[in-house]
Chain A
Amino acid sequence: MERWQAVAAVVFGYLLVTLAVGLLAGRRVSESVAGYVAADRQFGLITMYFITGATIFSAFAFLGGPGWVYSRGAAAFYILSYGVLGIAPLYFLGPKAGRLGRRFGYVTQAQLVAGRFPSRAISLLFALISVAAFVPYVMLQMSGAGIVFSAVTNGHVSFELGAAVAYGVVLLYVLAGGVAAVGWTNVFQGVVMMVIAWALGLYIPTRLYGGIGPMFDRIAEVRPELLVPPGLDADGSPWSWGAYSSAVLSSVLGFLMWPHLFMKVFTSRDDDTLRRTVILFPTFQLFLLPLFFVGFAGVLFPSAPEQPDWIMPHMILSSGLPALVVGLFCAGALAASMSTGDGLLHGAASIAVEDGLAPFVTLTDRQRRILMRGLVIALGTLAYFLAIVQKQSLVWLLLTAYGLVDQFAPPVYAALFWRRATTKGVLAGLVAGIVTNIFFLLRPELRPLEIHEGILGVIVNTAVLIVVSLATAPQPKEHADAFVSAPEEPRAAFAGVGR
């Protein structure tokens, strides 16, 4: 057996195990929309922790992160900063949103916002932006799977075939098991990813340079500009502080607003589970460090990959590691890609049906589930074809998607925290924010100080939301209070009896 065949065998074995975990998990939940989308709201701490971590760490972290470190140095450090700041608000608003979800039966973020601001247009806009932002994110994941397969088998398994096989497996278990399958496969994949990232991140620099410290000594001598933010732009010129800082801020704002992530507040069992997930989250963030080490190890390495995003597999193949280890790396990278891609496909389809269609057409529970499954296939196929023709870097794809998702932040915060916000204000702000974001995405040279288009959109979005809300009639007090105060549930009230 040749080396690439041994590697491929390890990877296929891994895919089979993942498929089995997904299919088994899917049999445990009820046949209903709540079961398919929110897993009967029954996830405990361990599942929630790995779902959150594995969903967030994707092919972006495994391939895009090292790719950016390799080509742009400290520019990639923006990724270190946004995760914790992005998830911290969940500690404060997650339990509140979760309570509202249990009380009113929400399973998506748009239902929460449209519950406070009754408007089918808001609901539809949320659905459209979600799907529009999910497509580049899924493309990124599929490209990641394709890169891994193609690189480690020396092209014997092509980029197109690799992406197709990995996502064939994802489609199977998402269709069969919904969010329960996504959850349990992520527990498994999260563990695989973390172990592999740390093992490789420590091994490769040690083998090539004799350790992490000696590696940075060498880089500090030869390419010191790579070690200090804001790092370099794609063409090798210095990146601007405006672009670096607004990449951080745009990602911080958008982080929680990703619908597939926000929806997790509706899947968790209780408030404490959510809070604990937030507390443990930084431990996942630390796992970016070993991935960055691999990117830095490539800087002074004599040979170079075709594209920066291929640096991770390039380093692994050049380190003379046994086929089993290479196979396990692929498994880790595929885990990263698939564990995010599955949640994205599932989330996009659920949102398109719940928020894009359900407010306009009456659908039975059964029809909705069938539609969701159809959409998982349709969106997966669309993203696949776009992925095999696109040429942008993985990080660029994600940053672009973030600009769109950022526009959800003003409506969500207004729904939960500002009594005076009105439906007209939120709708006007949302439209203005989306238009601003798209305008600067298409005309990047017009951005002031190279600030990210998502932040520019949020500034306009928020300003319009406030001005129009103040100019229109306030909502009835009891209605706004139900959302802004979000009183504790009966269980907690019962606990207070002894006072």
Chain B
Amino acid sequence: MNAIARSPSTAGTPKEGDMRAAVAGRLAIAFFSVQTIAVVYPGLVPFSRIEPRVLGLPFSMAWLTFWIVASALVLWGVSVVEGRSRRED
């Protein structure tokens, strides 16, 4: 997708785009901060257990895998919002 494909009427004003990008960036930083606590002591303690099993995996392993997948989605989301804001510049 390039800048020409987006008509100005649907893109919103550049200022809104910048703000959305800044908010997305801050949310991502919050997400990674929460994750940092969730994968070490003490955040990991309640999830360091075998049951319930998820897709055959012990819960602890599934928990840590969940954060990997969620991270990919969050980073992708930020890039979409930021990409839009940059194209609007």
Q: Would you call B44 and A229 a contact (CB within 8 A)?
A: yes
Q: Would you call A77 and B79 a contact (CB within 8 A)?
A: no
Q: Max chain B CB contacts within 10 Å: which of A245, A283, A286?
A: A245
Q: Which residue of A lies closest to B40 (CB)?
A: A245
B72 close to A (CB within 8 Å): yes
B4 to chain A, nearest CB (A): 11
List residues of chain A with CB under 8 Å of any chain B CB: 74, 77, 80-81, 83-85, 88, 91-92, 211-216, 220, 224, 227-230, 241-242, 244-245, 248-249, 252, 272, 275-276, 278-283, 285-286, 289, 292, 492, 495-496, 499
Q: Would you call B78 and A91 a contact (CB within 8 A)?
A: yes
Distance in angstroms between the alpha carbons of A83 and B25 in the assembled complex:
20
Q: Would you call B40 and A84 a contact (CB within 8 A)?
A: no
Q: Would you call B64 and A77 a contact (CB within 8 A)?
A: yes
A379 to chain B, nearest CB (A): 33
Contacts of A220 in B (CB 8 A): 50, 58
Interface residues of B in 1-34 (CB under 8 A from A): 3, 14, 25, 28-29, 32
Select one of A214, A244, A279, A495 contacting B79, CB under 8 A.
Answer: A279
Q: Would you call B79 and A276 a contact (CB within 8 A)?
A: yes
Distance in angstroms between the alpha carbons of A263 and B83 in the assembled complex:
24
Known A216-B56, A229-B48, A499-B89; contact A289-B41, beta-carbon cutoff 8 A? no
Distance in angstroms between the alpha carbons of A92 and B82 in the assembled complex:
11
List residues of chain B with CB under 8 Å of any chain A CB: 3, 14, 25, 28-29, 32, 35-36, 39-42, 44-45, 48-50, 53, 55-58, 60-61, 64-65, 67-69, 71-72, 75-76, 78-79, 82-83, 89
Other than the given A77-B60, A85-B35, 5 more pairs (CB < 8 A) read: A77-B61, A85-B36, A230-B48, A241-B41, A286-B69
Q: Would you call B58 and A216 a contact (CB within 8 A)?
A: yes
Distance in angstroms between the alpha carbons of A72 and B83 in the assembled complex:
43
B62 to chain A, nearest CB (A): 10
Q: Max chain A CB contacts within 10 Å: which of B14, B60, B71, B76?
A: B71
Distance in angstroms between the alpha carbons of A214 and B55 in the assembled complex:
11
Q: Would you call B58 and A282 a contact (CB within 8 A)?
A: no
Contacts of B32 in A (CB 8 A): 85, 88
A194 to chain B, nearest CB (A): 15
Q: Which residue of A lies closest to B58 (CB)?
A: A227
Known A85-B39, A88-B75, A228-B48; contact A211-B61, beta-carbon cutoff 8 A? no
Q: Which residue of B lies closest to A283 (CB)?
A: B72
Residue pairs across A and B with Cβ atoms less than 8 A apart, 15 shown, are A81-B67, A84-B68, A88-B32, A213-B55, A224-B50, A227-B58, A228-B48, A275-B82, A276-B79, A279-B79, A282-B71, A283-B72, A286-B69, A292-B61, A495-B89
A148 to chain B, nearest CB (A): 26
Q: Max chain B CB contacts within 10 Å: which of A85, A220, A244?
A: A85
Q: Would you call A282 and B72 a contact (CB within 8 A)?
A: yes
Known A224-B50, A241-B41, A499-B89; contact A279-B72, beta-carbon cutoff 8 A? yes
Select one of A88, A213, A492 contacting B56, CB under 8 A.
Answer: A213
Q: Would you call B67 and A74 a contact (CB within 8 A)?
A: no
Q: Would you call B79 and A80 a contact (CB within 8 A)?
A: no
Q: Would you call B68 and A286 a contact (CB within 8 A)?
A: yes
A242 to chain B, nearest CB (A): 7
Distance in angstroms between the alpha carbons of A213 and B53 in the assembled complex:
9
Distance in angstroms between the alpha carbons of A245 and B41 in the assembled complex:
6
Known A77-B64, A248-B40, A282-B69; contact A216-B35, beta-carbon cutoff 8 A? no
Select one of B3, B56, B64, B76 contacting A81, CB under 8 A.
Answer: B64
B86 to chain A, nearest CB (A): 8
Known A91-B78, A216-B56; contact A81-B39, beta-carbon cutoff 8 A? yes
Q: Would you call B49 and A212 a contact (CB within 8 A)?
A: no
